[in-house]
Amino acid sequence: MGLLAALTGSLLSLLLATPALAVSASNLPAAPPQERVLDSAGVLSRSAVAELGKTLERFSPDRVDAHLVTVSRLDYGLSLPQLGAQLVERWQQAADEPNQLLFLIDSQTNSATVAASPELGGQLDPNLLRSTGRTTMTLPIREGGRYRQGSLDAMNRLLSVLEAGLDPGEPVLTEVVSQPTNIPTKEETASSNAYTWVVVLLVVGTLVPMLTWWVFSR
């Protein structure tokens, strides 16, 4: 009976299991939460959440309420920038601090965006936010799923602008140049083998008739 009950429970768990629900602004807190990081996609470790939370706290002296939100699936027809804009508007209306800054990650598409209250436009230009989301934050995410590193790079870039007025710019893309080598490639090896067979066949085709003539002429 115990085994049957266990099997029945496991079967029910499998039947009731559902994929991650699509997320919209209404599925997220109506007001800015105390936690700086909302990792609903589950892509960050505990240590990463703690580190990112401390980094987000560094925005507070500039009267900026900053959060990081990760989602695993967006509602149909909803883009990540649209979710960010809706969430900023909701939290701005519900919070004592009107200056809202959101870093958002969609783990399904490995994309990221940065959204901010219009009041921050003088300090954080919309072009800067767009660049930070599309390059500084997204590139590490798409190169090996480095969610922590992409988030840290984006936060530090905007902190540099707020604290020192200096934009370190987008990450530098390094082009990998292959060094010359004496080891032949697969194509070169195949070409060399084909050439060898042609030479062998030509030699055989020349020598065999000559040897045949020599043998029978004696």
Number of folded domains in the chain?
1
Q: Which domain holds residue 51?
A: 21-164
Q: Can you give the pLDDT at residue 91?
A: 95
Q: Can you give the pLDDT at residue 17?
A: 41
| Average pLDDT of span 117-140 | 96
Q: pLDDT tens digits, residue range 2-22? A: 554 444 445 434 433 444 577
Q: Can you give the pLDDT at residue 11?
A: 40
In-domain check, residue 49: yes
Q: pLDDT tens digits, residue range 41-71? A: 999 999 999 999 999 999 999 999 999 999 9
Task: Please give the Cα distance from 109 to 72 (Å, whole number).
Answer: 9
In-domain check, residue 186: no
CATH of the domain at 96: 3.10.310.50
- Residue 66, phi then psi, degrees to nearest 5: -105, 140
Q: pLDDT tens digits, residue range 80-108? A: 999 999 999 999 998 878 899 999 999 99
Q: Can you give the pLDDT at residue 122?
A: 92
Q: What is the DSSP annotation of 126-188?
A: HHHHHHIIIIIIHHHHHTT--HHHHHHHHHHHHHHHHHHS----SPPPPPPPPPP-SSPPHHH
Task: Please give the Cα distance from 20 to 15 (Å, whole number).
Answer: 15
In-domain check, residue 14: no
In-domain check, residue 87: yes
